[in-house]
Amino acid sequence: MPVCDICSEKLSCDSALKTHLLLTHLEDEVACPLCSLSGVSYDELNFHINTAHSETGREHTPATGEPGYLEGESETGAGLSTVSHLPETHNAVKKQMLRPAGETSGNDGTHEKTREDDMMEPHTSKHRRLSSPSKGRTFSCPLCNLVCTDCFVLQEHVELHLQDQAVSDGAVHVCPMCEVVCDDSCSLQEHVELHLNCSPAGDFYGDMRFAQQLQEEDKRQRKEEEAKREVEEFTKLQRQFGLDNSGGYRKQMERSMERAVSRGHMTPTEFHMKRLEMMETLAAGMDDGQTRTTGLLSALYSFYQRERQDGSRVWLCSESEHFSSSDGDRGWGCGYRNFQMLLSSLKRLEQYTTLHTLPDSFPSIPRVQALVESAWAEGIDPQGASQFNRKLKGTRAWIGATEIYAVLTSLQLRARVVDFHQPTGPGDTHPRLFQWVKNYFSLPSSTGPRVPPRVVKTNLPPIYLQHQGHSRSIVGVEERRNGSICVVVFDPGCSPAEMRKLLNPNASSTQFNRLRKFPAHLKRQQYQVVVVEGVLSEEEKQERVINSRTFQAERIP
């Protein structure tokens, strides 16, 4: 806050100090504030104070040659000054402003040293001489071409320049969030407040909203990633189970024959002949019989009769044919082929031949798909039907135990599904499954009064055996003297050429061993079996159709 050196009155700002000096001390009578001297001019009063009251000691002494230095003033002369604050960056301009036009100072070194000392303080004081300049002196503005005859007018003029320069040379005010340049700090603060709603409560609620936005964005990204992953996994499952609209049996067979032609394994003429035969059999709904092998059960019976192991007993199912996978269903047709094996046995049993619902011939795979769709249309196993969107024809979809159950029920056959849902022995084995199969084949033949022979050929159809990714048919069981049990299986994965080798009367036990499966060979986590145990009446069939809406298999254990 500036203070008048004459009357010691405190003023609010520099402009108020100027007004005070002009009105109170320059226009009125000037009197010495330290004694009773009055009625003198301002220059005389200044000289009086510096000579008569020099012991008061002024803080700042003007450099020789500065404007306002009293004419005739000696080495001891010091001008009366008032204090105002100006930024450090304006000192150089201020120094030039106080020098008359055309005058050079010989004391620049002394003056620069004094100003450098002043710049060491945070706020440098500005000293303004109140003495009148000498008559006839002119003062030019260092920043423009204006020439003044009064140093006070020049000082006020230059300060207007300095205010504009302080604004233009000031720091650049850039928004830290969007890099917008503002004119001053106040504008910058208002601009940033628009970003953050910066208020005593706005910071907290703004941060909460920002955190919520981040959480919502993260949740949205997670949902998108999960949806994308689900689509990819679903596509893989569709491709794996043949539901990717890539064509069914006919298209796969045609592509296989085309590859054979391109590799030189088939001539174009043979391609067209085989394609024509395939279309005819598919139109009739019959299997072409190229992968079918008959007489295997009789060959097995003869083999066990020749192989006389002490204490071993064997039970075989009724006569059944083996169906291998072909080029049209390789990789996905095992369920259909096992159904053909089961059907080939049922058609030879008198108990089922009287049933007019069985197909007259061995159905082709597209025909079996149509039978499953027909069973779904009757309302059997609606949950399973929904998994396939009620469509199998023209696809490479796998079928399992529940689809076999649906077809058998539709044909008025009393089917039974047993689920061995977990291992029951050491090493993930299923001894309960083997014991159950042995009881299925052996119990009917052991009820008679006579001791059954060592090798028994029963009138029971084979067992449909399902596990993850594959299915087979159990056509017999063998119990060794030590109590160990092995099952005899027909695998659709075996080629017709390999199976036909077993028809040779001189076939070795090594060749038959590939049909034997011991507990160590069946170590999947879960197995399901389907067996046929008679014929259903119309009422029983309708009851089973209703119960299949919440179908549950029999579980062991």
Query: What is d(CA 110, CA 279) in angstroms, rounded to the nearest whole number?
Result: 117
To which H or E segment does residue 16 belong?
helix 14-20
Output DSSP code: residue 395: S
Q: Report pLDDT for 318.
A: 96
Query: What is d(CA 296, CA 287) in angstroms, rounded to the nearest whole number?
Result: 19
Cα–Cα distances in angstroms (integers) from residue 137 to residues 67, 99, 106, 167, 514, in the given order: 9, 11, 19, 32, 128
Contacts of 256 (CB under 8 A, 6+ apart): 327, 328
Tell me which amino acid residue 448 is: G
Q: Report pLDDT for 484.
A: 94
Identify the CA nearest to 414 among candidates 529, 530, 319, 321.
Answer: 530
Query: What is d(CA 330, CA 324) in angstroms, rounded to the nearest whole number?
Result: 9
Query: What is d(CA 322, CA 82) in angstroms, rounded to the nearest whole number?
Result: 121
User: Dihedral angle at the C-alpha atoms of 467, 472, 473, 475, nearest 10 degrees?
Assistant: -110
Cα–Cα distances in angstroms (integers) from residue 114 to residues 62, 91, 430, in the given order: 10, 11, 105
Query: From the candidates 148, 151, 317, 334, which is the catalytic residue?
Result: 334
CB 155 within 8 Å of CB 128: yes
Q: Is 103 left (phi over 0), alpha (psi -120 to 50) or beta?
A: beta
Query: What is d(CA 70, CA 57) in angstroms, rounded to the nearest whole number?
Result: 18
Query: From the candidates 14, 288, 329, 491, which is the catalytic residue?
Result: 491
Domain locations in the chain as residue ranges: 20-49, 146-198, 212-241, 281-555
To which H or E segment does residue 403 belong?
helix 401-410
Please indicate whether residue 470 is annotated as part of the active site. Answer: yes
Q: What is the pLDDT of residues 469-514, one digit of tens each?
A: 999 999 999 999 889 999 999 999 999 999 999 999 989 889 999 9
Contacts of 489 (CB under 8 A, 6+ apart): 465, 472, 473, 474, 475, 515, 517
Q: Are strands 527-535 and 413-420 parallel, antiparallel or unpaired?
A: antiparallel
Six token digits for residue 232: 């990819």
SS3 of 18, please?
helix
Instruction: For the domain made up of 281-555, give the CATH fold.
Output: Cathepsin B; Chain A (3.90.70)
Identify the CA nearest to 113 among candidates 91, 80, 131.
Answer: 91
Query: What is d(CA 247, CA 143) in angstroms, rounded to the nearest whole number?
Result: 91
C-beta atoms surrounding 73 within 10 Å = 17
User: DSSP per residue over 316-378, as a string?
Assistant: E-S---EE---TTTTTT-HHHHHHHHHHHHHTTSHHHHT-TTS-SSPBPHHHHHHHHHHHHHT
Sign of CA dihedral 263, 265, 270, 273: negative
Sign of CA dihedral 397, 400, 403, 407: positive
CB-side neighbour CA atoms (13 Å) of 295 = 9
Query: From the candidates 48, 161, 173, 470, which is the catalytic residue?
Result: 470
Backbone angles phi, psi at 477, to 5 degrees: -145, 145
SS3 of 301, please?
helix
Output DSSP code: residue 286: B
Tell me which amino acid residue 195 is: H
Tell me which amino acid residue 545 is: V
Q: How far apart are the first and last CA of the chain?
A: 99
CB 131 within 8 Å of CB 48: no
- Could you say which residues of the chain have pLDDT below 70? 22-30, 36-43, 53-136, 151, 161-171, 196-206, 237-245, 309-310, 445-449
SS3 of 302, please?
helix
Q: What is the pLDDT of residues 295-354, one digit of tens each?
A: 999 999 999 998 876 678 999 999 999 999 999 999 999 999 999 999 999 999 999 988
Query: What is d(CA 417, CA 188) in angstroms, rounded to the nearest whole number?
Result: 78
- Helices (H) and strands (E) counted in the chain, each on its own, are 19, 19
Tell me which amino acid residue 54 is: S
CB 291 within 8 Å of CB 496: yes
Q: Report pLDDT for 148.
A: 78
C-beta atoms surrounding 545 within 10 Å = 18
